[in-house]
Structure 1
Amino acid sequence: MREVKVQLFGFGNVGRAVARVLLEKERFFREKYGVKFKVVSIADTSGTVWLPEGIDLREAILVKENFGKLSSWTNEYEVYSFSPAEAVKEVEADVVIDVTNDRSAYEWHLSALREGKAVVTSNKPPLAFHYEEIIGEAERRGLPYLFEATVMAGTPVIGLLRENLLGDSVKRIKAVLNATTTFILSRMEQGVDFERAIEEAQKLGIAERDPSGDVLGIDAGYKATILHCVAFKPITFDEIAVKGIAEVTVDEVKRALSKGKRIRLVATVEDENVRVAPEEVSGPLAVSSNENVALIESDLLGELLIKGAGAGLKETASGVVSDLVKASLRLVE
């Protein structure tokens, strides 16, 4: 049985969802993969809980959900005020998981790799701005750097492009990658105005308190940038064209419906050309709810459609934990 020590950065909704999967499927991972995961540190914005013998994840979840911060756990565990960079240097671990929204996380991702640790992340900006540097560092050190959950949550589009279509030359990817805008546009199809649709999305937890990253197309732009890096070559978010849905009106949405089409925020990814903008679509790109979809065109396979949940806690945890298993098995080799 291989024991894998894990550092978890981020203990909000996604971080706790990952912890729950590790708890609920502990036996599954032991029996199927011969791997036992031991979470030795968890960090939220209040501090880092560190116990080399392994943290009780059930208790960690209870503390966070009852008190709102890990630093309240002072009776059982010592809480350290490490920065993420300090934590990856101080704590002995095999794999670092980052489910934060820390835009500067690429710096401590690099530190983790230099410390000999694999990295698994759902955090998009590090890859959207520093893909070449990070992946180059991981390859030089022969370490896994895995990021399935950055695009389409747990729907395995990254793995498909990075590990499976190795003989194919990708020509183009057309994709709907942001579930929040799909929800808003779907509500507008029913006559709800833009501002009201945003409010509904926020009440349901589909949109953030500040929804600008979604409605301005930034989130979809990050994801499209990452797809280009994987399918073609490294670029940065600064090199792509992005237009969100803020200017889309109910009349435009209804007009598209009258033609049998729907307006969706579409990412078009071609070699050295990435753009995100609202488009009238039909067929597989006309998704609803929290679905994401990518239509991949390649020279050998032709058209390949991959569709699935692009948001949700279990769905994102699926991508993160799948990468954790992959990383662990590669470290064993």
Structure 2
Amino acid sequence: MSTNIAFIGFGGVGQALARLLKERKSSLSSNYGFESKIVAVTDVMKGSIYHPEGLDVDQLLHVVEETGKVEDYPQTPGLIRGWDSFETIKKSNADVIVEVTFTDVETGQPAIDHIRSAFENKKSVVTTNKGPVALAYNALAKLAEENGVFWGFEGTVMSGTPALRMPVTTLAGNEITEIKGILNGTTNYILTEMEKGKSYEEALEKAQSLGYAEADPTSDVEGYDARYKTAILANYLMGAPLDANEIYCEGITEMTMDKVKDSVDNDKKWKLLSRITRQEDGTVTASVQPELVDVDDPLAGVTGATNAILYECDLSGPILLTGAGAGLTETGYSLLIDIIHFHRQSALTKIEGG
């Protein structure tokens, strides 16, 4: 049976996922028995279309590329236009809602309300939006469980690098005592450039010219982006109900050429580290701040815009995961990971249910 998919938001990441579903259609079917149809797309800037039998993905992507509007999709019998996001969630025949709207990370909106509505209407969700997971994980996870639906958010921490599912599945049986990582590629790139002799301002300007940093880099350089990801890791992997705003956060804006040079001269490196630690009494503490690491520390060798996480495990010892933390294809792939996992879970539920 085919999985029906509705997109809430259809920017670069949503379009990347649509392309992957089209390009990998044959291999997804043969390798996983997975078939899918995109039945709806709604975007605040691009318009909205729905067809219960599925949209032509080539036509959809072509129209968006040509006009920037999904509502310019050619009229066909049964096509409905003009639904808003909540109508699409409630009225469409989608099994999975792909929530990739532009969301205010400080409030988690509108993604939190979209996800809540989907769960209340017995629909599963995959998302790359950090806000809902960092700010409302426990409430939304409970709602998903109560309604028997799937919630995937692999791409919220390290894009297509499996920073969440890998420790849950591959490291099962370990107790993770500490997680520390480089969760923001922009700041790691800036620090790497400063090690080469650039000033903070010069390194930031280069990062912006390469597209690593936004015109307003505040979320990256002040550590806010890493703090939201730290909250997700704390909640999901450590079972600690930490709100992002409760996590101590310090960025790299005060970093100077002299501080970086002194660290290199002393066989150390500055890294903006997210650190989550389970204390002896069981409580979990978390922070985001620049830290000096020895040159032989596994994280010291992570340079440029790369992300990395070191999981301290009681049985397997330290496990290092590195990979891209951004990119349209990588982030689209993270959504595909979640959709495949949804398919496997649904198939297993059907087998168990007889």
**Which range, TM-score by smaller chain?**
over 0.9
- Aligned counterpart, 2:82: 80
- Give the C-alpha shift of residue 78 in structure 1: 5.1
Query: Which SS does the other structure have where 1:264 is aligned?
Result: strand
Q: Deviations over 1:274-331 (max 9, x none)?
A: 1001112233212112321111112222211111111222222221101111112222
Bigger shift: residues 20-29 or 310-319: 310-319
Q: Residue 315 of structure 1: which of 330, 334, 338 is its match?
A: 330
Q: 1:44 to 1:203 in 2, by over 3 A?
A: farther
User: Which residue of 251, 272, 276 maps to 1:269?
Assistant: 276
Tell me if the contact between 1:153 and 1:312 (Cα under 8 Å) persists in the aligned partners.
Answer: yes
Q: 1:97 to 1:246 in 2, by over 3 A?
A: same
CA contact (8 A) 1:161 1:230 kept: no
Q: TM-score w.r.t. structure 1 length? A: 0.93
In the alignment, is residue 3 of structure 1 matched against residue 2 of structure 2?
yes
**Which residue number in structure 1 is paired with residue 127 of structure 2?**
121
Q: 1:35 to 1:260 in 2, by over 3 A?
A: same
Mark the runs of 5 or more structure 1 residues left unpaired by the alignment: none
Between 1:16-25 and 1:285-294, the stretch displaced more is: 285-294
Local SS of the residue matching 1:221: helix
- Report the counterpart of residue 285 of structure 1 in structure 2: 299
Could you say if the C-alpha distance between residues 196 and 65 of structure 1 is closer, same or farther in structure 2, counting changes exceeding 3 Å?
A: farther
Given that 2:42 and 2:83 are in contact with CA atoms closer than 8 Å, whether structure 1 keeps it comes out as no
Partner residue, 2:242: 235
Q: Which residue of 1 aligns with 2:25?
A: 26
In structure 2, runs of 5+ residues without a counterpart are 279-283, 350-354
The yes-or-no answer on 1:109 pairing with 2:110 is no
Q: Which position in structure 2 is the counterpart of 1:178? A: 184
Q: Give the deviation of 1:20 after TM superposition.
A: 1.2
CA contact 1:106–1:130 (8 Å) conserved in 2: yes
Is 219-228 or 249-258 further displaced after alignment?
Answer: 249-258
Partner of 1:13: 12
TM-score normalized by the length of structure 2: 0.88
Q: What is the identity, as a one-letter code, of the residue corresponding to 2:89?
A: V
Q: Rg bigger for which structure?
A: 2
CA RMSD across the alignment: 1.8
Per the alignment, residue 52 of structure 1 pairs with 52
CA distance in 1 between partners of 2:190 and 2:171 (Å): 33
In the other structure, the counterpart of 1:250 is 257
Q: What is the CA–CA distance in structure 1 between the aligned matches of 2:210 and 2:75, rounded to whole Å?
A: 35
- The count of residues paired between Structure 1 and Structure 2 equals 331
Cα distance between partner residues in 2 of 1:72 and 1:251: 56
Offset, 1:152: 1.0
Cα deviations by residue, 1:72-102 (Å, 9 ceiling, x for unpaired):
44666654150x2332112111111122332
| Range 171-180 or range 159-168, more displaced | 159-168
Task: Sort the Cα spacing of 1:250 and 1:61 in 2 relative to 1 into closer, same or farther, 3 A.
Answer: farther
The aligned counterpart of 1:304 is 319
CA shift, 1:145, in A, is 0.7
**Measured at CA, do residues 195 and 8 of structure 1 come closer, stay the same or move farther in structure 2, by a change above 3 Å?**
same
